[in-house]
Amino acid sequence: MRSARWLILLGCCGALAAGHVQAQIAPRLTGEAVIGRLDAVRQELAERANMLHDDRLTAASARLGTMADALRKALGNKISQPADIIDDSSRVAVLRADAAVQRTRAYLDTQPGCPGSDAKAMADGLAATIDRLAAASGSSKATPVISGVETIDHRPLFALHPGSTPIALALAGSNLADPQCADPQVTATDEQGKPVDGQPVITGTLPTRIELKLPNGTGNKSGTYLLHVVTKHKSFLMGCSAQPEALAVLQITQPLRVSVNYELTAICSNGQRMPATGGLPDITAYGGTSSKQIDAAMCPDPSRYAISAKVAFGDGNSASVGPVEQSATADITMGLPAGFTLSWSPSTRTVFVRSVSSVCKGVY
């Protein structure tokens, strides 16, 4: 009798333990799964487009829906089969649709908090990526597909700031290189297909990753920046042969230009308020600063200071902050949009603005 109770108890414990065990191996990729994810990110992107009033994102969301419909029609009764065992054309269509899902998901997770020009560049980069993936043609057993552009430390990347320093980035995907063949060729062009000055240099390759160094001066011209990837794959008795081209899309943002106007009010000991207004020199680079000294004749014996500011970005967006008030001996620092801060130092009688390197995680 006691043995029976122990067996029942052990059986119950085993069942409870089994209920907490999770699968360690991801399910094989199928068209059905990708279509489900396409529908999900399409809906989320449509909601984001509505929130931001962004027609480009609205069109990108519709394009994702078109991709899902086309994939559903093309796969037919193969929709639930693993992508690895269906014909090359259908398999590549599944991989390209999955790449669109991954890029859209990365955008949705990365975009919040970006200032106007960066947000626009990210949206343009995502929309152009979806357009290119939807329109891509050509397939073979080893067709390369780029599912992500990222920094070397794996942060998703959609746009570049104009600048003169070298940039390191990576392309992620499948069939990007074959260790039995020469390195893939990567060529950078503008939206019209014209090669840009200064071509990328490959610094490392894996079948799932290509690491690149972009030369000085990349991003001096705003617009679409395309990376064309041509790989070779070795086949039995056939040697290494070129595969269909894969494309990665980045946007170059508009040059930064931020102007800040302030109103500094000295509150005198007798209660009189003496305002002084002015503007600081424009900030034209992330990480930059701008400052201005204020005339000492505002108030002979201030008890407090108050400061407010209006910040205007080159894309036309603007915002007002303040006033913030402190005693006449205390520094005042307040946050401005897009990671900027404005400070007033009564000891040096200086107003200054600082910019962080970038607050937008999807822009280098």
Q: For residues 209 and 170, is the Cβ–Cβ distance under 8 A?
A: yes
Considering only CA atoms, which of 247, 24, 235, 20 is closest in space to residue 125?
247
User: Mean of the per-residue pLDDT values for the chain?
Assistant: 86
What is the mean pLDDT of the segment spanning 106-127? 84
Retrieve residue 131's tokens: 């357009």
Is the pLDDT at 69 greater than 70? The verdict is yes
Least confident of 47-56, 105-114, 247-256: 105-114
Q: State the residue for tokens 């607050």.
A: 359
% of the chain residues with pLDDT over 90 = 52
Is the pLDDT at 162 greater than 80? The verdict is no
Distance of CA 250 to the CA centre of its chain: 10
What distance in Å separates the CA atoms of residue 272 and residue 304, rounded to the nearest whole number?
11
Considering only CA atoms, which of 158, 253, 148, 262 is closest in space to residue 208?
148
Output the pLDDT for position 218: 67
Taking the model in full, what pTM does it have?
A: 0.81
Output the pLDDT for position 9: 46
Q: Which region holds residue 3: left if phi is over 0, alpha if psi is between -120 and 50, else beta?
A: alpha
Per-residue pLDDT tens digits for 277-319: 889 888 887 778 888 988 766 777 889 999 999 988 877 778 8
Output the pLDDT for position 156: 93
Q: For residues 349 and 152, is the Cβ–Cβ distance under 8 A?
A: no
% of the chain residues with pLDDT over 70 = 89
Hey, which bits of the chain come out as E strands?
145-151, 159-160, 167-174, 185-189, 201-206, 209-214, 223-230, 232-235, 239-242, 246-252, 258-268, 273-279, 289-293, 302-313, 318-327, 332-335, 340-345, 350-355
8-state DSSP, 282: P
Per-residue pLDDT tens digits for 308-320: 999 888 777 788 9
Output the pLDDT for position 8: 47
Task: Decide: helix, strand or coil at residue 88.
Answer: helix
Length of the chain: 364
Output the pLDDT for position 269: 84
| Domain spans of the chain, in order of start | 28-138, 140-255, 258-355
Query: What's the CATH code, domain 140-255?
Result: 2.70.50.70
